[in-house]
Amino acid sequence: MKKLMFLLVTLSASPAFASEGPFFSLRNAHFVILVAFLIFIGVLLKVKVPSKLAGMLDKRAAGIRSELEEARALREEAQTILASYERKAREVQAQAEEIVVAAKRDAQLAADQAKDDLKVAIERRLKAAEDRITSAEAAALKEVKDRAVLVAVAAAGEVLAKQMSASEQAGLIDKAIGDVETRLN
């Protein structure tokens, strides 16, 4: 300790030697400042300021260390949560793609079914239209035949009426009545 003090006195007092008068005198300002400085350092050592400062620094370092550990733990937890959300996002994306594929498949099946149903409906309507056309043709043919028969009968009646006399016509009427009677009995 004495060596340290001597060294401090020697180093710090070297500019003081340039002043006039003896160095180790209370009239020398440099010596007084040196003594006050040494007393200040002694008081600091006596009150254990360096150990208190070291303790405060150690405490602060421990606090920083714990905050760093907590930050690491929070970061790991955040990474775990992020990985979980990313996995869930991938699963949801896969499910969405499956839903889209299923919807497209169902839409295609529905479209195919609708086409088949439309074909059946068209065929049924065509068949119904063909049946109506056939029925209309048959009715028209029957009507034409009936009309032709009526016209032919009327024409034949006129021709017969012009060619036959009244007595021949009366005989034909009598013969027709006789035919009707035989058929009814």
DSSP-assigned letters across all residues of 152-176: HHHHHHHHHHHHS-HHHHHHHHHHH
Residue-range definition of the domain harbouring residue 173: 144-184
- Is the domain of 75 the same as that of 150? no
- CB-based burial, 122-161: b 16+ in 10 Å, e otherwise: eeeeeeeeeeeeeeeeeeeeeeeeeeeeeeeeeeeeeeee
Average pLDDT over residues 7-36: 70
- Is the domain of 152 the same as that of 77? no
- Is the domain of 41 the same as that of 94? yes
Residue 165 included in any domain: yes
Residue 38 included in any domain: yes
- Is the domain of 158 the same as that of 77? no
- Is the domain of 83 the same as that of 165? no
- Is the domain of 95 the same as that of 152? no
Per-residue confidence band for 82, with pLDDT thresholds at 50, 70 and 90: very high
pLDDT at 57 over 90: yes
- Is the domain of 19 the same as that of 95? yes
If one counts the domains in the chain, the total is 2
Do 28 and 16 meet the contact criterion of CB atoms below 8 Å apart?
yes
Residue 107 included in any domain: no
Q: What is the mean pLDDT of the chain?
A: 84
- Is the domain of 96 the same as that of 177? no
pLDDT at 5 over 70: no
- Is the domain of 154 the same as that of 92? no
- Is the domain of 88 the same as that of 168? no
In this prediction, residue 21 carries a pLDDT of 62
- Is the domain of 10 the same as that of 76? yes
pLDDT in tens, 114-152: 999 999 999 999 999 999 999 988 888 888 878 777 777
Residue 115 included in any domain: no
- Is the domain of 96 the same as that of 150? no
